[in-house]
Structure 1
Amino acid sequence: MKLLFISCMFLGWLSAVSVAMAQDTTAVKDNTLRGQYLYMLSKSNNYQGYKVINQSRLAALWKNFSDTLSKARAHAAQLQNKLNEQQQVIADLKNNMANKDKTLAESNAMVNEIKFLGIPINKGTYSTIMWLLVFALAAVLAFFVFQGARHRKEARYRIKLFEELSEEYQNHKIRANEKEKKLARELQDERNKLDEYMSRGIR
């Protein structure tokens, strides 16, 4: 019986609170917590310097405050979850970007490197070395070509000089031979004359 009485009292109190909340809700123009708080203060009575607040209005304000706080917490939790998800996505993107940068760097290294005698060398360095070798070989070739041209010129000069000397020697030899023959004839003539004089003198 006592339990039934308490239950009836509780139901009556809840209905009164609901009615008061409904009345207050229709009366309140500003539905924000601040508006409801100011409305509750405006409807409260003064007693010896204190505010006497209607319990139903206070309960309604507390319920609205709790609901608003719960919604704010739920919204904050949702935002935190979204933030965590976005941070995870950003971290994944950063990892993917780092992996792609690493792969790109390795690919560029492979593209920009060439193996020379089993030693990996940068293409720019390899190209510079090759061009230096080409210029060095071209310089050596030009030097030998120049030296060869000088030697060929010197050889032609020597050959021409030898031919001139040989021709002059042949001419000298011919002249000397002719002179020798001439002298031999003159000597023979003198001998013949001497023999003739000798034969005449004996007679």
Structure 2
Amino acid sequence: MKLKLTTLLPFLFCVFMIHAQEEAQETLTNSLEDQFVDVVDNSNNYQDYKVIKKTKINKLRENIMDSIAALETEIQTSETSLDQQKNKIASLTQELAKTQEDLALSRKKENGIELFGMLTEKSTYNTIMWSIILILLLALGFFIYKYKNSNSVTKEAQLKLAETEIEFEEHRQKAIEQQQQLRRKLQDEINKNRKSKS
């Protein structure tokens, strides 16, 4: 008989534990409203009053307190999560602003060219470069014109110089001839004078 009792006792203990767990699960799975309805409906009536067992009221109070604690924990967890998300959003907003600044600077650099240490837009750079090229071409044209003009003036002056040299040479030849003729005449006169004195 003792043997049967010792084998039956653990079996009964297991059945009791399973039943208690099912009741606890049932209590937890029931909403608070269902539990209130259950307590009120299963309570006894006495005149106009309901008589509720202390164990049921205590169990309901315990469940309510557990639910409140769970809700408070959930609220705290949600608030913590919300704070973390706010911090993350603020951090991401700062990163986005920095990225947008970097992008704007990068686009500005992409659309611009460094000129004399300053970042200039490509259109302004092209305008400046083409203006410089046009000015240089105009200056080159002006210098070519001046060179050709000076070259023609120089050639003309050289031609006049050559003509003047030829004229001077002719004039010199004539002057030499005239001097020679004058010397001859003078010599002839001197000779005549000598002959006439002798």
User: How does the TM-score come out when normalised to structure 1?
Assistant: 0.48
User: How does the TM-score come out when normalised to structure 2?
Assistant: 0.49
Task: Report 1 or 2 for greater relative contact order, CA contacts < 8 Å, sequence distance ≥ 6.
Answer: 1
